[in-house]
Structure 1
Amino acid sequence: MSKRAVLEVIALDAEDAVAARAGGADRLEVVSDMAADGLTPSVGTFAEIRAAVDISLRVMLRPGDGFAAGDTGELVRVARELRSAGADEFVLGFLDEAGGVDVAAVERIVAELDGCRWTFHRAIDRAADRDALRKQLADLPGLDTYLSAGSAAGVDDGLPTLLAEAARRGEPGYEQRLMVGGGLRLEHVPRLRAAGVDAFHIGGAARWGGWAQPVSAAAVREWRAALSAPLGAV
């Protein structure tokens, strides 16, 4: 496991991307419309961000608010367009009405990604059975990360779940990296790092002044410093 913790920052445009990169972000999650908690960006926005920074970009595939896949044919078309524009890492996650993973939708999209690395996002925090979801997806190609707060309510409520899942890393269904995000605050970091969590995701925390403001390089730098501090440091 790398000693350097991964810091992923949400980027809405090239300005965000440049600031996040300057602050020390390792990777960006590229989305649109944070009023709906992050939807698929346009191909043009992706291309602008790709031209602006040289770090990894994970592109959201989410057609609307909630976690239903909707028209999977349209998602496949969009994924194909993004791949043609150079996207090679993605973020997705779909549930059915009962809160189980929508395996058919996920498998169809993953087939289009053809081996690209991808994150299953916070749909896991709305799943009826997190453990069952992980085991159903365990063998899908490209899946290397789960983004989770441990609870739909955020890290404050989900911390016990996150710590328990971190302790299971390497078990069937738990081979993927756990990336923590969703109400994440700096004070959560020491305990998560001590438990072996090595990936962190921030959105609003990277923007002094909230979502109406662009990413602040200084805010990202503060997170980078916290993630790089020796364990046990204040």
Structure 2
Amino acid sequence: MSKRALLEVIALGPEDAVAAQAGGADRLELVTDMAADGLTPSRATFAAIRAAVDLPLRVMLRAADGFAAGDLEALCEDAAALRAEGAEEFVLGFLTPDGRPDLAAVTALAEVIDGCRWTFHRAIDRAADRDALRKELAGAAGAAGLDTYLTAGGAQGVASGLPVLLTEQARRAGAEPGYAPRMLVGGGLGLGHLPALCAAGLDAFHIGGAARPAGWDAPVDAAAVREWREALDREVS
């Protein structure tokens, strides 16, 4: 039986979700306001997407552009409302001004989502020390449920972060502490990056703009998603 790489697609609403599923996406990341690089969607948007598709949905918990938690109380209220609506997987991640993981914010939200699985998003690519961040989170009781890091290997995207991704995958394969969560590669990811990434054993990929050839003002294009699905199926077997 062949192995299937995970393909996660950003969805802003039900139309995106339906197209992504038709194209072969395995999971959706739900956000709003891509001008701010993706914020928490409304409870109503989550419900509409949940009704439209049967894919796993990871819901962004982020109140403002940047990597500070901001109004944590409001964010926790949003998380509780989404959880009550049926959300079971989330995306979050916050840094302190000196580039360390904001454990207080992470712990507060992890308590609200109560053991749900979640992704630490690309805040890792802005961390002062990636390795220290991973190990600090691995040792934090409040980080329960963390099973994935969304990363490009660096702030500038996959093209320059590729060596870091390959090194970290090797450390994960070696069962190094802090490297147990799955690596979800995203951020300037192109089809041309897949051979090297897949050859190294990376098996989870995240696309946003690549699923929208006409830009963010247009919906997800099922054919564009299908191109990624087929490329991954060729690389991973």
Q: How does 1:76-225 map to 2 (within 5 A)?
A: 76-139=76-139, 140-169=143-172, 170-225=175-230
Instruction: Say if 1:84 and 1:148 are closer, same or farther in 2 by CA, change over 3 A.
Output: same
Cross-structure match for 2:63? 63
The structure with the largest helix share of the pair is 2
Counterparts of 1:71 and 1:20, CA distance in 2: 32
Question: Residue 42 of structure 1: CA displacement?
Answer: 0.6
Give how far 1:72 is off.
Answer: 1.2
Aligned pair 1:33/2:33, yes or no?
yes
- 1:72-92 deviations in whole A, cap 9, x for unaligned? 111111100000001000000
Counterpart CA distance in 1 for 2:167 and 2:74 is 37
1:20-49 CA deviation, whole Å, 9 max, x = no partner? 000000000000000111000011111100
- Residue type at the aligned position of 1:177: R
- Residues 67-116 of structure 1: CA distance to partner in whole angstroms, max 9, x if unpaired? 10012111111100000001000000000100111011101110111110
2:233 aligned partner: 228
Query: Any gaps of 5 or more consecutive residues in structure 2?
Result: none
Q: What fraction of aligned residue pairs are identical, expressed as a percent?
A: 69
> 2 CA distance for matches of 1:107 and 1:3?
34
Distance (Å, rounded) in 2 between the aligned partners of 1:94 and 1:230: 33
Q: Which amino acid is 2:110 matched to?
A: V
TM-score (norm 2): 0.95
Paired residues of 1:30 and 1:46 also in contact (CA < 8 A)? yes
- In structure 2, the CA distance between the partners of 1:193 and 1:230, relative to structure 1 (3 Å rule), is closer
SS in 1 for 2:54: coil
In structure 2, the residue corresponding to 1:168 is in which secondary structure?
Answer: helix
CA contact (8 A) 2:198 2:235 kept: no
Q: What is the TM-score when the length of structure 1 is the normalising length?
A: 0.97
Tell me by how many angstroms 1:167 deviates. 0.5
Distance 2:107 2:170 in 1: 28
Tell me how far apart the structure 1 counterparts of residues 31 and 179 of structure 2 sit (CA, whole Å).
Answer: 26
Distance 1:85 1:19 in 2: 23
Corresponding letter in the other structure for 2:220: V
User: Secondary structure at 1:183's aligned position in 2?
Assistant: coil
Tell me the CA shift for residue 212 of structure 1: 1.3
Contact 1:190-1:231 at 8 Å conserved across structures: no
* Secondary structure of 1:200 counterpart: strand
5+ residue gaps in structure 1? none
Cα deviation, 1:123-177, whole Å, max 9, x if unaligned, reads 0000000001001111421110000001111001100100000111121100000
Equivalent residues, number: 231
* Matches of 1:120 and 1:230, distance apart in 2: 26
Q: Counterparts of 1:25 and 1:151 in 2: how far apart (Å)?
A: 25
